[in-house]
Amino acid sequence: MATLAALPQLEMLHRQSAKRTRDIFASESDDTLLEDEASARVRLAIKIRDEYRDYKELPAALLSQQGPVGPSRPGQAGPARKMITAGASVDSNTSRIIATIDQTPQVQPSTFSSSSKLSQALQLHKSVRTVKPEYHPPWKLVRVISGHLGWVRSVAVEPGNKWFVSGAGDRVIKVWDLASGELKLSLTGHISTVRGLAVSSRHPYLFSCGEDKMVKCWDLEANKVIRHYHGHLSGVYSLSLHPTLDILVTAGRDASARVWDMRTKAQIHVLSGHTATVADVKCQESDPQVITGSMDSTVRLWDLAAGKTMTTLTHHKKSVRALAIHPTEYSFASGSAGGNNIKKWKCPDGNFVFNFTGHNAIINTLSVNAEGVFFSGGDNGSLNFWDYATGTPFQNMEDVPQPGSLEAEAGVFCSTFDHTGTRLITGGADKTIKVYAEQTQ
């Protein structure tokens, strides 16, 4: 027993023996160790029989459904096809051996009516690529600002990112500190709901429009109105400043968008063509320089020099209430009510890109920042955050009405990102302004 205990373990001896054997034979450079063709044929024949016996032909029920046309199998009449190999490591004899052993039946013709349709389908399948959405951190509510006595219908951030303005159904424009949320100033002068606001990036001017048909220019150094733009026949619902030209575009219930010279107050163009209220208008530097969305369920792209429609987009089924232009990508989005109600378009021709599906509500407002975070706010208080590049929703939230409000007063009417893109400001039916921010780890 003592001598048996002194012997080394059998497993260790076996491993040593295997290593030595490998060292002896691995140095051999001739082909004596290669498997001969006869044994290779036997081995492959057994493998094919055991592993692929049940998959060599379709069941009788499927075979009977096969139609008269289909792709040709390699080896049949037709142009010569190159064999795909996996590189130098593949044994060149293996495929030849399999070809002589395998007696698989010929593939039956496909049910496609013609080979060209099949090739089109295959080509389309190859061309569709799934793009992975970029990760965006979740957003959370960080501040609720109350002070208005009516529905908050418009918000705008000034270019310096220090303060923002809001307009509401109480006819007052309020200026708020962006960092602290404190009220800095109240501007009175409108006699009905303030529906649109814009702060100029090149002048100390604030522009406002409202349901009282007025479009006003406020001097922020004197805090008073210095210009009125007269011409709209009904309530003005939206306005936008051109980024490089001294012009202002307003739109409203008279189914027109009007282009104004900021300095002289002259009306340059009346952009007519819509048949119902123009709910939103946006300007950008390059064509189309003016985009409008209307309650007639169309989006129009305008030639600013000629004052005429370049393209009319008729994809929406219901009234288009919101537009958003991406700050860096040459594209924009539009929102309406119903299914498939948010659509992305490519400039300058307005080519349809895809639908943002999943926000089944009346969309009142859209906003997008440079990082590709796309926000949509609904009339029922639903808030959706999307990846703008792929249309993938990454967060859904519900607007909580402030205490004392009705449950129905959860609608979101307006929204804007600040200039850093890290804060989102929204205005709603509960008379409050809510500030959302990215959650940092």
Residue 360 vs residues 111, 140, 302, 335, 371: alpha-carbon distances, Å: 39, 22, 29, 11, 25
> pLDDT band at residue 370, thresholds of 50, 70 and 90?
very high
Domains and CATH numbers, the chain: 185-426 (2.130.10.10)
pLDDT of 30: 56
pLDDT of 109: 57
Q: Which two tokens stand for residue 195?
A: 């529906």
Mean pLDDT of the chain: 85
Q: Mean of the pLDDT values across residues 129-139? A: 82
Q: Mean of the pLDDT values across residues 307-315? A: 94
**Cα distance between residue 183 and residue 194, in whole Å:** 18
pLDDT digits (tens, 9 = 90+) for 39-52: 888 888 888 888 77
Listed residue (372, 366, 373, 357) closest to 335, CA to CA: 366
Bond before 403 cis per omega within 30 degrees? no
pLDDT digits (tens, 9 = 90+) for 17-65: 888 887 777 665 555 556 678 888 888 888 888 877 776 777 777 777 6
Q: Mean of the pLDDT values across residues 303-319? A: 93
Q: Which residues on neighbouring strands pair with residue 395, listed in sequence order?
A: 385
Q: Which two tokens stand for residue 304?
A: 């600013």
Q: Is 200 exposed, middle or buried (0-12, 13-18, 19+ CB in 10 A)?
A: middle
pLDDT of 426: 96
**Cα distance between residue 269 and residue 307, in whole Å:** 6
Q: Do the strands 342-346 and 351-356 form a parallel or antiparallel pair, or are they unpaired?
A: antiparallel
Q: Do the strands 183-188 and 152-157 form a parallel or antiparallel pair, or are they unpaired?
A: unpaired
